[in-house]
Chains A and B, each alone.
Chain A
Amino acid sequence: MAEYIVRRLIFGIFVLFIMTTFIFIIMRAVPGDVVTLQLANSGATAEQMDALKAEMGLDKSVLGQLVDWVSNAVKGDLGNSLWSGQEVSKIILERLPVTIQLAIMSIVLAIIIGIPIGVISAVKQNTFIDHFLKVISIGGLSIPNFWLGLIMLTVLSLVLNWIPPLGYQSFAENPFVNIQQMFLPAICLAITLSASIVRMTRSAVLEVLHSEFIRTVRAKGAKEGIVIFKHALRNSLVSVITLIGLQIGYLLGGTVVLESIFALPGLGSLIFESVLVRDYPIVQSTVLVFGAMFLLVNLIVDVMYGWVDPRIRTK
């Protein structure tokens, strides 16, 4: 097991390197840079701008910049923001908890909504309830989450005259306010994820319900509750967990827009703001953190397989 985890981590570092390189080049291919954007209307001369660029190391070739960035990043120095001059690692550490909390809340909500509905659809296969839930979950899959976020905000403020409290407060500072602020974006992210969990749970549970060991359990005289939750659901978890691992990518992507809509100071809104002002070090580092989160979650998923299914454990 330990050997497997080490192997996966080594592989992960390789993936992260390729990913950073890709983002690095793409970012520089976008026209405009931080100096031009900052000083465009300030009347600064071209010489002054070039001098500033040289100071930031932007005058070197793309490859040269890449080498600088990677060699510093390996030492743990992610550089400073080109805009505010703050240390990137500090900014990220400040904002990371918001995104992690949002992601965890969305996943938990998605599981709470998705698995029971999936199980109900499977047990009530081809009945009215199943078809009804199918329509709902396909709807959930098709609605873009930013649209849902905007609609929710609008409807709540118009009908209930309520908007989430302004001015972000962390859970430690004020849990009540924090939950009010986080709940809506978490729901928006959870709905898309739960819709796919419903579909996966339904088909996985259905498949397991048709396997022979389920008949053995029924032949023991077990109640349907035991048959479904202790045996069918437990055996379906591998595919559901796999799905959640893969959907983490979409979830993290969704935080970019939703954090901006709901004015949450997380990594998502950070990357959104930084792209607009071409704050290269922040964008690169944030993408790196997102990538690492995705890889880490999927590593956890793979380790969980063994916990869920003893056949994988022994291999």
Chain B
Amino acid sequence: MAQNSNILLQVEEMKTVFKTRTGNLEAVDGVSFSISKGETVAIVGESGSGKSVSALSILRLLDSNGEVISGKILFNNLNLKDLSNDEIRKIRGNEIAMIFQDPMTCLDPVYTIGDQIIETIKIHEDLSKNELRERALELLKLVGLPDPESRIDAFPHQLSGGQRQRVMIAIALACRPNLIIADEPTTALDVTVQAQIMQLLKDLQAQFGTAIILVTHDLGVVAEMADKVVVVYAGQVVEQSDVKDLFNKPVHPYTEALLKSIPKIDTNKNRRLLTIKGNVPSLKEIPSGCRFHPRCPLATEKCRSEEPPLFKADNDRVSKCWIADPDLQEEWENPILIDEKEADFEINEHLVSKNMLLEVKDLKKHFPITKGILSRTVGHVKAVDGVSLNINKGEVLGLVGESGCGKSTVGRLITGLIDSTNGEVSFDGKQLSNVNRKDKKGIRKRIQFVFQDPYSSLNPRMTILDIIGEPLEVHHLAKGTTKRQRVGELLEIVGLSKEDMHKFPHQFSGGQRQRIGIARALATEPDLLICDEAVSALDVSVQAQILNLLKDLQLQLGLSYLFISHDLNVVKYISDRIAVMYLGEIVEVTDSDTLFKDPLHPYAKALISAVPVPNPNIEPERMILSGEVPSPSNPPSGCKFHTRCPFAMDICKQDKPQLRAISEDHIVSCHLYGEERGHG
């Protein structure tokens, strides 16, 4: 290594184990990497890969049963692994600071944010009370918290998620550390806020030359932030490289598969996503040889038996795969991971007829805010405030927006899980409010729900047979042997086996559970599935499997979906049309290609531009919105978006724009697009 003098932190062969009753779990098994001053190194991996544990191991912040048992963590010629507790405390927060994932739970709720920033400075520096407060104020200004003088005495719950993450960053910067370890710093945030925080981190890095270790699963964030990337799989580094090399020409099959399995804005919707078969291995059953071999399409006998070493290549690249062996005589083809014949989806014939399946008119849901002895209603949270949309037979309508915009509530209203305040839902030509109870149950049967979290949406005490069979019994569709037969069929449709029906949910992985959730939804032979963040809780490699499955089902069964998600790439890939929601209202609806190519509403533009692009070769042009979503209990007058809109005019503050058709199949509510564009 030539630039040895610049190296700030060097991790060598670090091994971390967790002691449990059933034995030791090796969460990190010989991870090595280094980071230089002012550099950003990303540690990327799926859940359970050991990326977070690696980050926590550096400062020895693991839970009490976890320990770094071997290897070196060299920081300024000190081996952090061997320091006493008092010595490492002097480094924590002072020379190396951390930022954690969830700003909602990472700040102590009972102290003001000022106190929490001051606490860090107080631990490491001896300053007077006034100086401490000055410093805290300065830090809050630095991280761009609006109105710091009054906010310094606010409690965490009085701030929004993005503001809290700014406070976390202020705490991390308090003692001007040389290195910040950021563990999924933007994962819990909305895209528009994520863009703000990424920009802030970049600016601060440019200003202070702080090095950042970025732990993330999001390849888009990696491409935009990182200089160097370390890919981890099952506790080991599998590839390490400069960010551009990694994205342009990955060497390890896992990296390549990971890059290809995520839907991107330019992904062809008609092509099947590349998937990685199987699941991330559990730490209890680590495969022999190369840990990736059971999922690798290129695995050979050698991969099964022998663990590959880390092969070094040009440009400091490292790959833990036999392909990279320089002594190897055979030429390896660049791995082809997809069968070309099956690559394309068939044309969706169900779409041709254009029959309206679901029509929603002026749907409203206002939750009352009550106060006082008699619980008087003093206001309303306007979660959904006049939403109209329609879905044709066989069509997928995507519904996107930031958290709190009411998109999930729309899904719940359509299925009748909650009652609407106002509005009309018609399904297959029948108005839901007009039909009798029996017919309503019949309609319910035809609209089913797929939930976000596959871990909590299946009753852990019921077998798969009972879980999938329950809707069959509720709707008197099948019983006894017929039920068993039907459940078996359903399991096969979603790619599981008949034999699985007697198992319990905990015996399945996250992806398999989501398949079970889909099988349950399909049990009543519905026409419409409401998928509320149905792939958000899954790992990227598993997400691709589920997306392919949903597309297959759409084609085979002629299903329609209302696909609710915050992940625009996923929505773009799966949807035929997309509706954009802001504060309980729909601001733009059009087909998905047009929306991404030519978004009209400024909010849609900002939302789309905020999505991190997993391509380090391009610097995306970004329209960063200021501030965050206003409260739906007190929405702004006129156009609800005018407080954050860079194009806001006087008229936007007073007059609420109506949704109007700009062209066929493209409607938008914005004063910028008045009559001219409509006529022209």
Contact = CB atoms under 8 A, between A and B. Distances in A.
A85 interface: no
B208 to A, nearest CB: 18
B587 interface: no
A314 B92 contact: no
Contact of B100 (A7, A210, A216, A231): A216
Contacts of A220: 92-93, 97, 119-120, 123, 171
A28 interface: no
B106 A213 contact: yes
Interface in B168-186: 168, 171
Given A3-B373, A219-B97, A223-B89, A311 B105 contact: no
A213 B93 contact: no
Nearest to A238: B110
A215 B110 contact: no
Interface string A225-249: 0100001001100000000000000
A308 B90 CA distance: 30
A213 B119 contact: no
Interface in A164-211: 210-211
Contact of B110 (A7, A217, A235, A314): A235
A231 B63 CA distance: 17
A102 B59 CA distance: 50
Given A219-B98, A221-B93, A310 B110 contact: yes
Interface in B88-123: 89-94, 97-98, 100, 102, 105-110, 119-120, 123
B124 interface: yes
A211 B105 contact: yes
Contacts of A7: 373
A213 B107 contact: yes
Interface residues of A, number: 24
Contacts of A213: 105-109
A67 interface: no
A239 to B, nearest CB: 13
Contacts of B106: 212-213, 215-216
A56 interface: no
Nearest to A211: B105
Nearest to A313: B155
Interface string B64-89: 00000000000000000000000001
B372 interface: yes
A218 B59 CA distance: 10
B108 A231 contact: yes
Contacts of A156: none
B350 interface: no
Given A218-B92, A222-B123, A223-B89, A309 B100 contact: no
B157 interface: yes
Contact of A221 (B110, B123, B157, B168): B123
A235 B89 contact: no
Contacts of A3: 372-373
Contact of A235 (B93, B94, B108): B108
Tell me the dominant secondary structure on chain A's binding face: helix
B158 interface: yes
A237 B120 CA distance: 23
B88 to A, nearest CB: 8
Nearest to A11: B373
A308 B124 CA distance: 27
Contacts of B61: 215, 218-219
B78 to A, nearest CB: 15
A79 to B, nearest CB: 33
B93 A310 contact: no
Interface string B624-643: 00000000000000000000
A216 B158 contact: no
Interface string B303-325: 00000000000000000000000
A151 B570 CA distance: 73
Interface in A301-315: 308-311, 314
Nearest to A125: B64
A58 to B, nearest CB: 40
B109 A309 contact: yes
Most buried by B among A213, A235, A311: A213
Nearest to A220: B93
A234 B372 CA distance: 30
Contacts of A221: 89-94, 120, 123-124
Contact of A311 (B97, B157, B168, B373): B157
A215 B155 CA distance: 18
A3 B373 CA distance: 8
B168 A216 contact: yes
A219 B110 contact: no
Contacts of B171: 216, 220
B121 to A, nearest CB: 9
B100 A215 contact: yes
Given A234-B110, A308-B110, A222 B119 contact: yes
Nearest to A219: B98
A113 to B, nearest CB: 24
Contacts of A231: 108
Contacts of B124: 221
B163 to A, nearest CB: 16
Nearest to B107: A213
Nearest to A6: B373
A310 B90 CA distance: 31
A243 to B, nearest CB: 18
Contacts of A215: 61, 100, 106
Nearest to A311: B157
A97 to B, nearest CB: 35
Contacts of B98: 216, 219
Contacts of B100: 212, 215-216, 219
Nearest to B155: A310
A210 B93 CA distance: 20
Most buried by B among A215, A220, A226: A220
Most buried by A among B97, B98, B106, B124: B106
Nearest to B64: A125
Contacts of A210: 63
Given A213-B106, A309-B109, A219 B157 contact: no
Contact of A217 (B59, B91, B108, B158): B108
A166 to B, nearest CB: 48
A235 B119 contact: no
A234 B94 CA distance: 25
A309 to B, nearest CB: 6
A154 B120 CA distance: 55
Nearest to B372: A3
The list of the 9 closest CB pairs from A to B, nearest first, reads A221-B92, A220-B93, A221-B93, A219-B98, A220-B120, A310-B155, A212-B105, A221-B89, A213-B108
Given A212-B105, A221-B120, 8 more contacts: A7-B373, A218-B61, A219-B59, A219-B98, A220-B92, A235-B108, A235-B109, A308-B110
Interface of B: 59, 61, 63, 89-94, 97-98, 100, 102, 105-110, 119-120, 123-124, 155, 157-158, 168, 171, 372-373
19 contacts: A210-B63, A212-B100, A212-B106, A213-B107, A215-B61, A216-B106, A216-B107, A218-B61, A219-B59, A219-B92, A220-B97, A221-B123, A226-B119, A226-B123, A235-B109, A309-B109, A309-B110, A310-B110, A311-B109
